[in-house]
């Protein structure tokens, strides 16, 4: 059974997947300033991945999707979140040491490099949500083994 779409859908997907990815990266990186954040941006980028899966089919997805890499990245996102939370262990768990007297991410509130560990946590959550959702969709798509 043919599992990819036609020419128009493929061309449109080639044009829109980078745009969706850039918009998702914007939502993730500006999570402490504008609406959005880790989960919303990660789900947006995962939408680009799912568009790739649907437009180009499972065979093309299998060539570019590495199960071990995505599992490792998902664990790395969780570890980065935990590491950012542990930065201020001298005072308390989740103490925002970067914001109080950190070397970076302590700019004027409202600018991009502010809010202490929040951008790091947004990036970690975005990475985790993106890899988790893409892995789940790839696993469900690869599961079609029942008889016709």
Between 82 and 89, whose beta carbon lies closer to other proteins?
Answer: 82
For residue 111, the minimal CB distance to other proteins (Å) is: 10
DSSP string of 20-45, one letter each residue = HHHHHHHHHHTTTTSS--HHHHHHHH
For residue 33, the minimal CB distance to other proteins (Å) is: 5
Between 104 and 143, whose beta carbon lies closer to other proteins?
Answer: 143
The residues near 7 (Cβ < 8 Å, ≥ 6 apart) are: none
Between 46 and 55, whose beta carbon lies closer to other proteins?
Answer: 46
For residue 74, the minimal CB distance to other proteins (Å) is: 13
Q: Is the dihedral of CA 84, 88, 90, 94 positive or negative?
A: negative
**Of 81, 73, 86, residue with least CA distance to 31:** 81
Between 43 and 58, whose beta carbon lies closer to other proteins?
Answer: 43
Q: How far apart are CA 121 and CA 98, in angstroms?
A: 12
- Identify any residues that bridge with 109 across adjacent strands, giving them in sequence order: 111
Between 63 and 147, whose beta carbon lies closer to other proteins?
Answer: 147
Footprint on this chain of other proteins (rule: CB under 8 A): 33-35, 37, 39, 43, 109-110, 133, 136, 139-140, 143, 145-146
CB-based contact 27:36 (threshold 8 Å):
yes
């Amino acid at each position: 059974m043919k599992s990819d779409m036609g020419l128009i859908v493929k061309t449109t997907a080639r044009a829109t997947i980078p745009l969706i990815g850039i918009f998702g990266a914007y939502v993730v990186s500006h999570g402490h300033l504008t609406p959005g954040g880790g989960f919303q941006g990660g789900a947006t980028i995962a939408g680009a991945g799912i568009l790739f899966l649907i437009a180009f089919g499972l065979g093309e997805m299998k060539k570019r999707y590495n199960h071990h890499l995505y599992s490792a990245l998902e664990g790395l996102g969780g570890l980065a979140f935990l590491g950012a939370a542990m930065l201020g262990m001298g005072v308390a768990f989740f103490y925002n040491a970067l914001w109080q007297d950190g070397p970076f991410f302590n700019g004027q509130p409202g600018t991009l490099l502010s809010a202490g560990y929040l951008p790091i946590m947004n990036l970690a959550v975005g990475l985790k949500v993106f890899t988790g959702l893409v892995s789940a969709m790839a696993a469900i798509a690869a599961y079609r083994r029942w008889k016709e």
